């Protein structure tokens, strides 16, 4: 079906297909906030860095199918990346990511 479509038709199809898949995936939603901090900069002429920290907080307690989900901190993700620029078109990087999750409020 996709092979005969134009580029914009393919994109629209993929968006609609993704929407349907997400819509059918679950019947509940948790509302909250996700404060984040991101910083990038240069350490010297060829070496740079990226730092990113994201925290997700479930703002409201709710009961779904008899299971209680408290308002709590659910995610913490921290990333640090070093970037070395070889020339104007090529760079290499290495990084580290740390994540702590409590999605279903099981951690006490």
Helix or strand (DSSP H, E) at 38: strand 36-42
Specify whether 23 is located in the same domain as 35: no
Based on the structure, what is the number of domains in the chain? 2
Say what the pLDDT of residue 12 is: 54
Show the domain range for 20. Answer: 1-28
Q: Would 16 be classed as within a structural domain?
A: yes
Question: Does 50 reside within a domain?
Answer: yes
- Do 20 and 59 lie in one domain? The reply is no
> Could you tell me if residue 106 is inside a domain?
no
Please report the pLDDT score of residue 23 as a whole number. Answer: 47
Could you give the angle at the alpha carbon of 35 between the alpha carbons of 33 and 36, nearest 5°?
145
Contacts 24+ apart (CB under 8 A), 24-28: 28/64
pLDDT tens by residue, 13-66: 555 554 444 444 455 677 788 888 999 999 998 999 999 999 888 888 888 777
Decide if 102 contacts 72 (C-beta within 8 A). Answer: yes
Question: How much is the pLDDT for 20?
Answer: 46
| Chain position carrying tokens 């906030």 | 33
Pair of tokens at residue 92: 């290499």
Do 60 and 14 reside in the same domain of the chain? no
pLDDT for residue 7: 59
Assigned domain for 90 exists: yes
Q: Residue 74: its pLDDT value, please?
A: 81
Whether residue 54 is contained in a domain is answered as yes
Residues facing 36 on adjacent strands: 54
How many angstroms separate the first and last alpha carbons of the chain?
A: 49
Per-residue pLDDT of 61-104, as tens digits, reads 888 777 787 888 788 899 999 999 999 899 999 999 999 887 66
Together in a domain, 3 and 15: yes
């Amino acid at each position: 079906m996709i092979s005969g479509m134009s580029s914009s038709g393919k994109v629209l199809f993929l968006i609609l297909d993704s929407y349907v898949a997400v819509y059918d995936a679950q019947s509940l939603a948790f509302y909250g906030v996700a404060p984040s901090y991101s910083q990038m900069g240069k350490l010297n002429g060829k070496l740079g860095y990226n730092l990113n920290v994201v925290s997700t907080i479930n703002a409201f307690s709710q009961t779904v199918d008899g299971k209680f989900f408290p308002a709590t901190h659910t995610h913490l993700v921290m990333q640090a990346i070093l970037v070395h620029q070889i020339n104007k078109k090529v760079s290499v990087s290495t990084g580290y990511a740390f994540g702590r999750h409590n999605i279903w409020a099981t951690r006490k």
